[in-house]
Structure 1
Amino acid sequence: MYKFPDGFFWGAATSGVQSEGSTNQINQSIWNYWFEKDSKRFSEGIGPDIVCDTYNRFKEDVSLMKEINFNSFRTSIQWARLIKNFETGEVCDDAVRFYNEYIDELLKNKIEPIINLYHFDMPIELQEKFGGFESKKVIDLFVLFAQKAFELFGDRVKYWTTFNEPIVPVEGGYLYDFHYPNKKDPKLATQVAYNIILAHAKVINLYKTMNFSGKIGVILNLTPSYARSNSGDDLKAAYMADLFFNRSFLDPMLNGYFPQDLCEILKKHHLTPEINKIELEEIKKSKVDFLGVNYYVPRRVKAKEKKDEKFNNPEYYFDYYINPDGRFNPYRDNNEIYPIALYDIAKNIQENYGNIPWYLAEIGIAMDLKSEGDIKENGLIDDTFRTNLMKEHFIQLHKAIEEGSNCFGVHQWTFIDCWSWLNSFKRRYGFYRLDLETGERIKKKHGEWFAELAKNNYFN
């Protein structure tokens, strides 16, 4: 028996832009705009306009959450939906109504909402006018948005997060071209990363002055870096990958300072962002109450075989490699399956970051429609593959908790198959399948298993 601590959070995660659809949304995010501009980049030409239609179906969805015994759920408030005028902070009345009703429906069903403020969804007006988080002006506008959200919903929402996976807009928008604005510019990338960290810090410090009884944190995608061998060069490659992709946000957001090695590397390549002492003090004093962790796959690296002429991205310092002894998910680009990494993440937080309270904010096993198959006679979709792998991961998490890791919950990605950026609906993760033609929600077998886990707080 693998029993979890009393009061453990069991639920799922999504985001506003991936689930709500665009009904009555007064402003556009970069995703609406980019899809209109270049729909061919999106799998099967599917954009974010309808998606799960949570805007109209949230009561139905909350009842389905209750059916599989959720006691918590994460989503996000869309900046482009809530705020009517970004400069003044004037809010959209319809958005206020929607989010109030959604939050109240969750609470009525004893499902604790965890509300995130930014999930890759920069308003296009701010991206085009100021460059999004390239500009420190947008930091102030983000803080104003956060203030409005706290004032409107902070009496009921007890768990807030500032950003989900803040490194992803940096990678996607400024290094690797899978997010708008599709720039490959490492100098801009470092400035955007710094500005996001500063925006996070300012919102944390603001919330602490507003005397709410809730807690506030951040959600980071942590991907342990494993060296090909114990050679010095391979170990250095893994160190550098961890420095860029994990510690670049972990250290300032949890400990209040940037890794010295990273600062020296950026200086060497003339990539140091514009900073000042007042901003660094703001970052230093910001203290999160908890950390959310998203984990999917490990990162395997080796020493660089051929040195690049100049720094274009972190791969200047390492090469990726495929683990010859690894297991791979045939339904998601043959990504490696490595549950032990979850244990390693938990121990890293415990040993190097003060054993801060944390929860597994996302974990998911991707399948596609073909691999999940048709609806069975019992009315369920058989995704036993997903359940078996999830058990392996939860065993590793349980082991870390038994050893003192301060984990307080698990949110699986995702509740209903949701729209996923350029991949649209190529991959499915939900407890419920979404029929794209009818909007019907169809339960999967894994949802039945999860319902028992959430009800009993253990599994065998």
Structure 2
Amino acid sequence: MQSVRIVTHFFLPLGFSWGVGSSAYQTEGAWDVDGKGPSIWDAFTHTKGKVFRNETGDAACDGYYKLLKELNVNHYLLSISWPRIMPTGIKTELNEKGIQFYNDTINSLLESSIIPIVSLYHWDLPQVLQEKYGGWQNISMINYFNDYANLCFEKFGDRVKHWITFSNPWVSYETGEHAPGLKLGGCGAYKAAHHIIKSHAKVWHSYNNSWRSEQQGMVGISLTTGWGEPIDPQSQADIDAAERYIQFHLGWFANPIYRGDYPEAMKNYVGNAQQGLGTSRLPTFSVQEKIYIKGTSDFLGIGHFTTRYVTQKSFPSLQVSSYHMDQDLAELVDPKWPAPGSKWLYSVPWGFRRLLNFIKTQYGNPLIYVTENGVSEKVQCTQLCDEWRIEYLKGYINEILKALNDGVNVRGYTAWSLLDKFEWNKGFSERFGFYHVDFKNKDKPRYPKASVDYYKNIISANGFPNPREAHEI
């Protein structure tokens, strides 16, 4: 058994940025107020049977009117709702009240010495673009998204210096569980992702050519991924399966942006001869596109929540091909891992360090901002004593410390999330917030959970005030 020793450095580097995050649809509410147009999530949640208890984000946390600034964070990660400032998604129709709302939000953050990190897209596509063009299935979205991004750079870029093009751009066109609720299988997901990657690159080039010299900001993308660990580290089949896991999750978007093309594992497993198809269902980039896309990220945002053990699993060739089946693997968990919240979310801190080191090795040690990391609770935390969240934060932040000692270039950490909020198709049944929100009360009062003070102390100390909390194995 390995001995456990205390890390001598239990503080993070000077200038490390601590924050919390949220997204527009999950927190803002005011879905049809002040000229805002509908998004695909407005349409999806207004269809009965799509969301747990038919809950919607129509009012959400009333983040549109209130913003909590009690945590003494260095930054706040928020997303802009595209249909709030462009109700139909196109630049000929702007909503000045929506633009003013984000101007006020950004200004109030800066007045409180909080750096805004702004995501342009966190899933709430204007519904009109979905109905008219089929959303991300249509290549025309590249230009529409670029117009929207340039409007944001024009209106807010004098104050916003950290831009994220897409937050967790994995697009649910496969199962229909998320908006827009279409079941298009793997082909639909791969096609949408292809257009999103091209959209990201176009926006980066737009910023680089038209705005960077004046505004001096950065543009990146935020990718959410688990870590896949081979269940048998001696088995080459399991090692290969774990590699596929990470390439299908992270590499799908990161590889084109950092290395110029889709990962080999995806090219080999999506519609290859093994599946009896003459051509791949994974779209291809031209030589010019590869050159255009490669290097289009000033930083990499990483969302990370949990880890899986991975083993080889061959699906019968008769089954319908899908993104899930294409990976040819099975995901397993250790029953000893703590599972305090969502059924998919186990607390496995050591996977985080391995993921961060993988990124360092695979993509040339890019500048990393952790953009989402946190844990939900299954039961309503009426006593507000969320000790499991404190343990989770302690474990995962400690792994960032170790990764920094490994030479990984992590510059900031965003705990997810500020408030209990609308959790997509789970409605309000899963709660990730530092602040409990009483959604049954029309005023939606917020109450700090125990984790608020814990996180405040970490921010104040820029690390662990108590060195006993930082361990290295």
Q: TM-score, normalised by structure 2?
A: 0.89
Check the 8 A contact 2:261/2:285 in 1, yes or no: no
Q: Which amino acid aligns with 1:405?
A: V
Residue from 21, 24, 31 that aligns with 1:16: 24
| Aligned position for 2:311 | 302
1:348 aligns with one of 349, 358, 377: 358
Deviation at 1:363, TM superposition (A): 0.6
* Alignment match, 1:182: 182
Question: Which residue number in structure 1 is paired with residue 250 of structure 2?
Answer: 246
Residues 1:334 and 1:19: Cα distance change in structure 2 (over 3 Å): closer
Whether contact under 8 Å (1:115, 1:161) holds in the other structure is yes
| Correspondence 1:423 to 2:426 | yes
Counterparts in 2 of 1:187 and 1:373: CA distance versus 1, 3 Å = same
Contact 2:22 2:417 in 1 (8 A): yes
The equivalent of 2:227 in structure 1 is 224
- 1:126 is matched with which residue: 121, 124, 129? 129
**Contact 1:175–1:186 under 8 Å retained in 2:** no
- 1:195 matched residue in structure 2: 195
Quote the offset at 1:305 in angstroms. Answer: 5.2
SS in 2 for 1:337: coil
Deviation string, structure 1 residues 105-154 (Cα, Å, up to 9, x no partner): 00000000000001011111111111111111111100000000000000
Task: Give 1:166 deviation, angstroms.
Answer: 1.0
* Corresponding residue of 1:320: 330
Hey, what does 1:378 align to over in structure 2? none
Q: Deviations over 1:380-418 (max 9, x none)?
A: x21122102210111111011122111111110101111
Q: Is the 8 A contact 1:223 1:298 kept in 2?
A: yes
Q: Does 1:443 align with 2:452?
A: no
- Contact 2:88 2:128 survives alignment (8 Å): no
User: Does the 8 Å CA contact 1:221/1:293 hold for their aligned counterparts?
Assistant: yes
Structure 2 CA distance, aligned partners of 1:130 and 1:274? 22
Letter in 1 for 2:168: E
Q: Write the letter of the residue equivalent to 2:258.
A: L
- Amino acid in the other structure paired with 2:183: K
Q: Hey, what does 1:106 align to over in structure 2? A: 109
Aligned-partner SS, 2:140: helix
Whichever residue aligns with residue 7 of structure 1, its letter is G
* Aligned match of 2:4: none
Counterpart AA for 2:108: E
Shift of 1:325: 5.5
* Native 8 Å contact 1:10 1:410 kept in 2: yes
Instruction: Indicate the SS of the match to 1:299.
Output: strand
SS of the equivalent of 1:244 reads: helix
Q: Deviations over 1:225-276 (max 9, x none)?
A: 1122132222222222222122111111223332234234335243032654
Tell me: CA distance 1:402–1:74, structure 2 relative to 1, closer, same or farther (3 Å): same
What does residue 233 of structure 1 align with?
237
| Offset at residue 316 of structure 1 (A) | 3.8
Task: State the Cα distance separating 1:435 from its structure 2 match.
Answer: 0.9
CA distance in 2, matches of 1:204, 1:280: 14
Query: Of 357, 368, 376, which aligns to 1:366?
Result: 376
Question: Bigger CA drift: 253-262 or 395-404?
Answer: 253-262
Aligned match for 1:329, one of 339, 343, 362: 339
Judged with a 3 Å threshold, the aligned counterparts in structure 2 of structure 1 residues 451 and 343 are, in CA distance, closer, same or farther, namely: same
Contact persistence 1:294–1:360 (CA under 8 A)? yes
- Counterpart CA distance in 1 for 2:331 and 2:461 is 41
Listed as ranges, the matches of 1:270-289 within 5 Å are 270-273=280-283, 275-284=285-294, 286-289=295-298
Residues 269 and 327 in structure 2, CA contact (< 8 A), matched pair in contact too? no
In the superposition, the TM-score normalised over structure 1's length comes to 0.91
Offset at residue 25 of structure 1 (A):
4.5
| Residues 376 and 432, structure 2, Cα contact 8 Å, conserved in 1 | yes
CA distance in 2, matches of 1:340, 1:125: 43
Choose from 448, 455, 461 the match for 1:456.
Answer: 461
- In 1, Cα distance between equivalents of 2:225 and 2:332: 19
8 Å Cα contact 1:326-1:337 kept in structure 2: no
Q: Residues 346 and 261 of structure 1: is their aligned pair in 2 closer, same or farther, counting only changes over 3 Å?
A: closer
Aligned-partner Cα distance in 2 for 1:249–1:334? 22
| SS, match of residue 46 in structure 2 | helix
| Residue identity in the other structure for 1:383 | D
Distance verdict in 2 for CA 1:184–1:326, change over 3 Å: farther
Q: Which has the higher helix share?
A: 1
Hey, what's the Cα distance between the residues in 2 that align with 1:278 and 1:350? 26
Q: How many residues align?
A: 442
C-alpha displacement at 1:441, in angstroms? 1.1
Cα contact 2:44–2:50 (8 A) shared by 1: no
Decide whether aligned partners of structure 1 residues 87 and 366 sit closer, same or farther in structure 2, where only a CA change above 3 A counts. Answer: closer
Distance 1:457 1:444 in 2: 21
Deviates more, 1:41-50 or 1:83-92: 83-92
Aligned counterparts, 1:77-116, within 5 A: 77-116=80-119
Q: 1:392 to 1:264 in 2, by over 3 A?
A: closer
* Counterpart contact for 2:222–2:301, Cα < 8 Å: yes
Q: Distance in 2 between matches of 1:89 and 1:283?
A: 28
Q: Which moved more, 1:228-237 or 1:287-296?
A: 228-237
Whole-Å separation in 1 of the counterparts to 2:21 and 2:305:
14
Per mean C-alpha deviation after superposition, the further-off stretch among 110-119 and 218-227 is 218-227
Q: 1:265 aligns with which of 257, 269, 287?
A: 269
Q: CA RMSD in A?
A: 1.9
In structure 2, do the counterparts of structure 1 residues 188 and 319 end up closer, same or farther at CA, with 3 Å as the change threshold?
A: same
CA contact (8 A) 2:187 2:322 kept: no
Tell me if the contact between 2:308 and 2:333 (Cα under 8 Å) persists in the aligned partners: no
1:319 positional shift: 3.6
Residue 399 of structure 2 corresponds to residue 389 of structure 1 = no
Could you say if the C-alpha distance between residues 184 and 146 of structure 1 is closer, same or farther in structure 2, counting changes exceeding 3 Å?
same
SS in 1 for 2:338: strand
Instruction: Give the share of equivalent positions with the same residue, in percent.
Output: 28
Distance in 1, Cα, partners of 2:175 & 2:53: 25
SS of alignment partner, residue 280 of structure 1: helix
Distance 1:272 1:329, change over 3 A: closer
Closer, same or farther: CA 331–81 of 1 in aligned 2, 3 Å: same
CA contact 1:241–1:318 (8 Å) conserved in 2: no
2: CA distance between counterparts of 1:388 and 1:264?
40
**In structure 1, what is the equivalent of residue 10 of structure 2?**
2
Measure the CA separation in 2 of the matches of 1:86 and 1:325: 46
1:334: Cα distance to partner?
A: 6.2
**Which piece of structure 1 moves more, 423-432 or 95-104?**
423-432
- Residue in structure 2 matching 1:51, options 53, 60, 67: 60
